[in-house]
Amino acid sequence: MKRLIPFLIILIFSVDTYAQYKEKNYGNTPNEIVPYANFQNAYKKHFLEPWPFRGSGREKAEPAGLETVRIGLLAPLENSKDVPKGMQMKQGAMLALEQANAKGGYKGIPFELMPHNDVGLWGAAANEVVTMDDEGVWAILGSLNDIVTHVAIRVALKCEISVVNMADPDPTLTETNIPWVIRVISDDRQSSYALANRIYKVDNHQRVSLLRANNRYGRVGTGEFKDASRRMGHPVAVEVRFEDGHTDFTDQLNTIKKNNSDAVVLWGDAKEMGLIINQMREMGMNHPVYACDRAVTGEFLEVAGKNADGVTTTCQYNPKLPNPKYDQFVTKYKERFNTDPDVFAVHSYDAMNITIEAIRRAGLNRTKIRDLLTDMETFQNYKGASGEIVFDATWNDVGQIYMVDIKGNDFHYKPFEAEYQAYTGSVK
């Protein structure tokens, strides 16, 4: 019975924390987008309370004689177009780990990062997690690729290792009901709602075309946007796709021109989106352009040049807000790596800090670390370098998302919450 008491306390705290949110829509879904909301409550609601973990493992004693406390990282580090993103993930995590070691590590034992390459393959992801289990990691950070992350969290479940995700925006990731996973970055569901509100409510567009990457990131990322568009009375007029690495989008853009769209939404990587906008303007297409959050990069500004002006997108944090933690992070990051941090670096930094804090509080016991990472009383409203992290009942970050307008070769940020209230007169 004594062994059950800590678990019961954690479960009660988690449920009590969410009692005040039971009437809120899952995933911060705006009322007008909830399926069948205008007719009746036609289905059973899920994901409104944390998924309990009733497993064992808390009785295991800390191991003796450890030389380091290992934390795994799964990220695209070689042989991938996403290596620049993966390096930002690794460097953000490394900076937090090195700062923790400068403060004594874990009871005098240094933390050690165990990086593993995310090559975008299902089987490879499983093997990497198993290898990290053999290495004795106490938690895993990662990854970016949707497919890899979905496989990794299922293997981590079997190995009983917590996974802290800081880069994969797939809305379905935390809907797997795996109680060993948390995410500290807003997903594409939040971005989609924000874009739909701007496009249809604020800018009053009626007919929108969608041009997306022909991969899982493009397919799953745009799913919520298409659903929101339909429920707001404006089904996407046409959806066309492009392959990674393509530089000529003539066929896709001609298809959009024939459909008399009054706006275009782009979903893919920064380079391709920049090339698409350039080609649109060359073809005389003056459509307003909206884009996924990967447009908030220096690469996008460089590729699109003057054509980036007027593009609207979203971002999971606002680097221009007064935030001493962010300012200190940027200074130290530049000193350490001689480059500017991006969205993946700052969220990796927060992910590592949260993980290390959980290890320090829980001790070297994987189940107890999991308990703390998923205990809403511990990390709810955590204020990190990326801002405030707010977890929903699936341990997904549903904190503030920002609208970003590109003007004068610069990014201008505005909270989506404020924009939503201004144009609807209500709170989500």
pLDDT at position 49 is: 80
With a cut of 70, say whether residue 217 has pLDDT above it: yes
CATH superfamily of 1-186+318-397: Response regulator (3.40.50.2300)
Alpha-carbon Rg for the chain in angstroms: 22
**Boundaries of CATH 3.40.50.2300 in the chain?**
1-186+318-397, 189-315+402-424
pLDDT at position 23 is: 52
pLDDT at position 50 is: 81
Query: Quick one: pLDDT band at residue 379, thresholds 50, 70, 90?
Result: confident
pLDDT at position 10 is: 38
Question: Which of 23-27, 55-59, 166-170, 405-409 is predicted with the least confidence, judged by mean pLDDT?
Answer: 23-27
Q: What is the residue-averaged pLDDT of the chain?
A: 90
Please tell me what DSSP assigns to residue 33. Answer: G
Q: Backbone phi, then psi, for 240, in 5-degree steps?
A: -125, 160
Q: What is the mean pLDDT of residues 369-376?
A: 92
Tell me the pLDDT tens digit for each residue of 156-166: 999 999 999 99
Cβ-defined contacts of 245-250 (< 8 Å, 24+): 245/81, 245/272, 246/272, 247/275, 248/279, 249/211, 249/275, 249/276, 249/279, 250/279, 250/283
pLDDT at position 427 is: 52
| Cβ-contact 305, 278 below 8 angstroms | yes
Per-residue b/e over 93-123, b at no fewer than 16 CB within 10 Å?
Answer: bbbbbebbbeeebbeeebbbbbbbbbbbeee
Please tell me what DSSP assigns to residue 406. Answer: E
| Cβ-contact 293, 386 below 8 angstroms | no
With a cut of 80, say whether residue 239 has pLDDT above it: yes
- Calculate what percentage of the chain has a pLDDT beyond 70: 91
Please give the sequence-ordered ranges of beta strands (E in DSSP) within 76-166, or none if there are none: 111-117, 139-142, 162-165
Query: Quick one: pLDDT band at residue 380, thresholds 50, 70, 90?
Result: confident
Query: Quick one: pLDDT band at residue 425, thresholds 50, 70, 90?
Result: low
Tell me the pLDDT tens digit for each residue of 71-90: 999 999 999 999 999 999 99
- C-alpha torsion angle, residues 357, 363, 366, 371 (rounded to 10): -60
Tell me the pLDDT tens digit for each residue of 97-120: 999 999 999 999 999 999 999 987
Spatial separation of the C-alpha atoms in residues 175 and 154, rounded to whole Å:
12
pLDDT at position 18 is: 40
Strand partners of residue 387? 384
pLDDT at position 4 is: 39
Q: What is the mean pLDDT of residues 277-299?
A: 97
Query: Quick one: pLDDT band at residue 381, thresholds 50, 70, 90?
Result: confident
Q: How far from chain centre, in Å, is Cα 413?
A: 18
Q: Rounded to two decimals, what is the model's pTM?
A: 0.90
- C-alpha torsion angle, residues 372, 99, 411, 299 (rounded to 10): -110
Q: How many CB atoms lie within 10 A of CB 299?
A: 16
First to last CA, the chain: 42
**Fold held by 189-315+402-424:** Rossmann fold (3.40.50)
β-bridge pairing 382-384 and 162-165 = unpaired
Strand partners of residue 109? 106
Tell me the pLDDT tens digit for each residue of 301-329: 999 999 999 999 999 999 999 999 999 99
